[in-house]
Chain A
Amino acid sequence: METMNIRFAGLGGTGVIKASDVFADVVFRLGYEVKKAEVHGMSQRGGSISSDVRYGSTVNSPMIPDGACDILIVMEETQIPVVKDGLKAQGKILVPKDIDASKLPSAKSLNVAMLGKLSTLLDIPEALWQKALQANFAEKLHAANAQAFQLGRDSQ
């Protein structure tokens, strides 16, 4: 299988790294080769941040080459112009306004709703997403996450 390149982007503190962790977990459970790259530290103090997940039958560099993103998930409106050039010609971009924020169980759960939206673009059993979400979050958040994930799945 061709390497798939998925990039999560936003500002430090918007759940970018968490969302990419969950997604990497999902595709790893599918048995793919997976690599994930991001930068920690200073960039997490409210600045621009992104996290790359690459998966397929073989993956070399953990960083997505320029203009090679198949799907770009942007958690923060202002960051769209910063990252949109990374997208392939036929690539897809998911942005916050794809989700009806008024229906989110909490503002913090936007990243999970975006994963729900992402799940509609990929042929991966829903149960795997649910498993990965449960494994990556504390139990008290499971109900809210299930609701946010479904909201993302149902959004147009």
Chain B
Amino acid sequence: MHISDDGKGRLLLSGNEAIALAARHAGVHLGTGYPGTPSTEILEAFTSLGGKAQWAPNEKVAAEVALGAAFANARVLVTMKHVGLNVAADVLFTMAYSGVQGGYVLIVADDPGMASSQNEQDSRRYAEAAAVPMFEPCDSQDAYDMLRTAFELSERWQIPVIYRVTTRVCHSKSPVKPRVPMDQVPADTGAPTPSFVRNIQHRVMVPGHAKPAHKRLRNKLVELTQWNEQEGPTHIENRSGELGIITAGISYHHARDAAPEASILKLGMSYPLPLQKIRDFAKSVKRCVVIEENDPWLANALKAEGIAVEAKDDSIYRFGELSVDRVARILAKDSSPEPVPVRGKPPELCVGCPHRSSFEVLKELDCIVAGDIGCYTLAALPPLQAMDMMIDMGAAIGMGLGLRHVLPHAEAKRVVSVIGDSTFLHSGITGLVEMAYNAPQTGHVVIILDNGTTAMTGQQEHPGTGKQLLGEFTNRVNYEDLARAAGIPNTTTINPVRDRARFKEAVADALRKDELTLIVAKSPCILAVGRIVAAERERAIWEAGHNGIEKCDCQAGGK
């Protein structure tokens, strides 16, 4: 894609692009993550700038791969959306104890207002819960500048750092003046050289090691608080003595527009908080208001410290993202009903999308459908309305099994679990093992909708496509082999569009039997069909060469 350049050393970048460029300029050795709106473009931009990055099957694996690299003194970047951090939380809480050697920055992208998410959870709570420092950039320049600081701080205190962004920071474009031109990597990246030094006490978190590690962690936080007070990226604009606003992230810009006369304290590192600085600021103004999206996390933290601040009315403003108008209403203590915007057209499955055919069949068969996360979730909306539940990545299989275990026989026989290919590899495999291990009496039917790509987030590769982030060929997971290895006796792959009748009969047959069945509904995403079909042809040649059967010149694979 084209990056706008004003000819005077400034680039017009999205927050995601700015993070990618900063990572490149900080000499990051490895980027890893799982696609998720609004975080997806970071690793894509990082690779297009020449960085090494890869998609992991899920966020937990990504965070673990990065941890190994950081134990080896490398600089690492991990990217995910807010709900991805739930998956990676297990690693986060204990790597806070172990600490790291190379710089470890975990980007978590929240989605206030749920533009493309199933909840609007507030990831700031993770920083506090896991006791790791957190930065919150407010725009692209901030996102570029503070990432370097985050790496330096991570290495100095040997602690992983959360870099919390939101939809409007990730996807808004604003000017960035980089340290060096975009296509260069500065000589002084500051990145350490990977090497291994044994440190069993710090990295094997058995209780005897973890107890002192927890104390080390708390001591680090005390030092980090001092650093944030004295050198932290807190930005104060002293204007009116009447009104002061304490804020962070994108809310800073809304507040600046809504109250040009107000004094503002903008946090750059919002955990651990520079409480003395905030206390002094609050004292310097007559009225001090905290402007933050979603949870009253910052307001509560300040109130608990006895700092006199006002919070927004959470019966209204906890929901959805903020805007200039909403911040103006908060400052005016206006809790009257908000104007209701005209309803736009909701999204829908594309014309020619193979998921349409799959869900039409499930509707015709009157199935109870435990669904999952991806484009196909749109099948729950009119006109299809053919999905009965969707909660989190991989839940289709577990929820379907639960329904089968307790429903009366006739209803249990109608239950199917439907999950996309990338979602299955992310969190569905353990569900499949559960199905084989604790099989319901009526059996069960799992349908993997294999459209050959991670479609919802913009067509990323995954372990089932057999291609890496940039399209290089690699090993490919075979869903049927995987299911049979787990102990599932019936497996088949059918194209639900081309062989619709056969697909319908296969589902009906599986529903009749009291057995376990996996059906792979394989038909390419209509938006990616040309690319997928072409890659299949190239793959056949690559595999022949790869297996030593036939040498060819094209072993680099399909870009």
Contacts and interface: CB of A to CB of B under 8 A. Distances in A.
A135 interface: yes
A47 B348 contact: yes
Interface stretch (A36-44, A113-121, A139-147): A36-44
Summarize B's interface: helix, strand, loop or mixed.
loop
Contact of A46 (B6, B116, B342, B348): B348
Contacts of A40: 37-38, 115-116, 171, 458
Interface in A46-61: 46-48, 59-61
Nearest to A64: B324
Interface in B1-27: 2, 4, 6-8, 10, 12
A125 interface: no
A47 B345 CA distance: 5
B168 interface: yes
A155 interface: no
Contacts of A46: 345, 347-348, 350
A91 B495 CA distance: 51
A61 B6 contact: no
A82 B343 contact: yes
Contacts of A83: 342
Contacts of A61: 250, 253-254, 256-257, 323-324
Report the interface size class on chain B: 35 or more
Contacts of B324: 60-61, 63, 65
A150 interface: no
Nearest to B325: A66
A45 B344 contact: no
A62 B139 CA distance: 9
B32 interface: no
A78 B346 CA distance: 13
Given A29-B6, A41-B38, A45-B350, A65 B345 contact: no
Contact of B12 (A25, A41, A42, A48): A25
B38 A25 contact: no
Interface residues of A, number: 40
Contacts of B344: 47-48, 79, 82
Nearest to B37: A41
B457 interface: yes
A35 interface: yes
Contact of B325 (A37, A47, A65, A79): A65
Contact of A34 (B174, B349, B458): B174
Summarize A's interface: helix, strand, loop or mixed.
mixed
A68 B166 CA distance: 24
B468 interface: no
A82 B37 contact: no
B175 A81 contact: no
B171 A38 contact: yes
Contacts of A47: 344-348
Nearest to B458: A40
Contacts of B139: 35, 62
Contacts of A112: none
Contacts of A98: none
A39 B171 contact: yes
B306 interface: no
A82 B346 CA distance: 12
Most B CB contacts (10 A, CB to CB) among A36, A60, A81, A135 go to A60
A43 B175 contact: no
A83 B344 CA distance: 9
B54 interface: no
A60 B237 CA distance: 14
A34 B553 CA distance: 47
9 contacts: A29-B7, A34-B175, A38-B171, A40-B116, A61-B324, A62-B139, A66-B339, A82-B345, A85-B341
Interface of A: 11-12, 21, 24-25, 28-29, 31, 33-48, 59-63, 65-66, 78-79, 81-83, 85, 132, 135-136
Given A41-B456, A45-B348, 16 more contacts: A28-B6, A34-B12, A36-B172, A39-B171, A40-B115, A41-B37, A41-B457, A42-B37, A45-B349, A47-B347, A47-B348, A48-B344, A59-B174, A63-B324, A81-B342, A82-B345
Which 7 pairs of residues, A with B, have the shortest CB-CB distance?
A48-B344, A41-B116, A47-B347, A41-B37, A45-B347, A62-B172, A36-B173
Interface of B: 2, 4, 6-8, 10, 12, 37-38, 115-116, 139, 167-168, 171-175, 250, 253-254, 256-257, 323-325, 339, 341-350, 375, 378, 456-458
